[in-house]
Amino acid sequence: KEIDIVGVPPGSNLLTFDLVAGAGWDENPDGAIINGALLDQLTGARVGDRFGVRFDGEESELRIAAVAREPFSPPAAYVSTT
């Protein structure tokens, strides 16, 4: 299934997250903040777990740093651009 992956510059005020689980990038700077829609697709996943993604034909894994509440949004993951 397709998801949106958004790169967010460190210290950016572009986005704020309503975290419902995890501590975000403060404790996990290399992790992904995912929204509830993506969490629903990753059956049984929790903060600290990894999930696979494919970008431009290459496979990789992202670790869940936090879960954010984003009502009515499609599945998405946010990663720091550091």
Q: What is the pLDDT of residues 14-55, one digit of tens each?
A: 888 999 999 988 888 899 999 999 999 999 999 999 999 998
CA angle 24, 72, 81 (to 5 degrees): 35
Per-residue pLDDT, 11: 81
- What is the biggest distance separating any 2 CA atoms in the chain, rounded to whole angstroms? 32
pLDDT beyond 90 at 68: yes
Per-residue pLDDT, 41: 95
In sequence order, the 6+-apart residues with CB closer than 8 A to the CB of 58 are: none
